[in-house]
Chains A and B, each alone.
Chain A
Amino acid sequence: AQSVAQPEDQVNVAEGNPLTVKCTYSVSGNPYLFWYVQYPNRGLQFLLKYITGDNLVKGSYGFEAEFNKSQTSFHLKKPSALVSDSALYFCAVRDDRGGSYIPTFGRGTSLIVHP
């Protein structure tokens, strides 16, 4: 079975500082990993994905994520946070041996960037 965990309900960071939003996953095969962001009153928007290849994936709005197989993690990062990055961030995983084509989402992490 595929599952994903976002261990932090909320992350607080000062504008200009680096940010990290954590995600760990569990699969029986190889993972397909995704990050989505939800701004207030909007739907979830795709940020980036890891399917295969380079462990560092770059996505929209300056975000990147690092796939770490040994730690089964896919943490979202940004070198310098903006107040406008404040939103809800969702990690998702799909197991290539799971028999399902549907990604499983986490419960989300609220990122608050303080001016």
Chain B
Amino acid sequence: EPEVTQTPSHQVTQMGQEVILRCVPISNHLYFYWYRQILGQKVEFLVSFYNNEISEKSEIFDDQFSVERPDGSNFTLKIRSTKLEDSAMYFCASSGGRATNEKLFFGSGTQLSVL
């Protein structure tokens, strides 16, 4: 089965630094998502992306966050100035259609640790 790939698997950074998390969605998918999970808490939706623009975003996705599809294959999440509370597992996902009733394909995640 096709897979979503995420790099790096682990990222350690200092508070205030910028990080970019990378994802390669499944090649014929059109909808892309970022979720995160703080240890022991729910998997939280951050943002969805379709047709080269953000289609939905949550309250978590503030001005410190941005997403980009720079080259037609990669899908990136940038955190401009990381905070301690940004430490979490970040999951990228993609789907062929809207998430309404389409299954999402998830990557294995990037564990972000902000020191």
Binding site for B on A (CB under 8 A): 32, 34, 36, 38, 41-46, 49, 51, 90, 94, 100-108
Interface size class of B (residues with CB under 8 A): 20 to 34
Please give, as numbers and ranges, the residues of chain A lying within 8 Å of B107 by CB-CB distance: 43
CB distance from B107 to the nearest CB of A (A): 5
- Inter-chain CA distance A42–B37, complex, in Å, is 14
B98 within 8 A of A: yes
Tell me if A101 and B104 are in contact (CB < 8 A): no
B99 interface neighbour in A43, A44, A102, A106, Cβ under 8 Å: A102
Binding site for A on B (CB under 8 A): 3-4, 6, 33, 35, 37, 40-45, 48, 55-56, 91, 93, 98-101, 103-109
Query: From A96, which residue of chain B is reached at the shortest CB distance?
Result: B100
Query: From B40, which residue of chain A is reached at the shortest CB distance?
Result: A107
* Most chain B beta-carbon neighbours within 10 Å: one of A34, A94, A102: A102
B101 interface neighbour in A42, A51, A90, Cβ under 8 Å: A51
Please give, as numbers and ranges, the residues of chain B lying within 8 Å of A45 by CB-CB distance: 106
- Inter-chain CA distance A32–B101, complex, in Å, is 7
Given contacts A46-B103, A102-B56, contact A41 B108 (CB under 8 A): yes
CB distance from B77 to the nearest CB of A (A): 15
- Inter-chain CA distance A47–B50, complex, in Å, is 24
24 residue pairs of the A-B complex, CB under 8 angstroms, read: A32-B101, A36-B106, A38-B106, A43-B6, A43-B91, A43-B93, A43-B105, A43-B108, A43-B109, A44-B106, A94-B99, A100-B56, A101-B56, A102-B33, A102-B48, A102-B99, A103-B45, A105-B35, A105-B42, A105-B44, A106-B43, A107-B37, A107-B40, A108-B37
Tell me if B103 and A107 are in contact (CB < 8 A): no
Query: From B38, which residue of chain A is reached at the shortest CB distance?
Result: A107
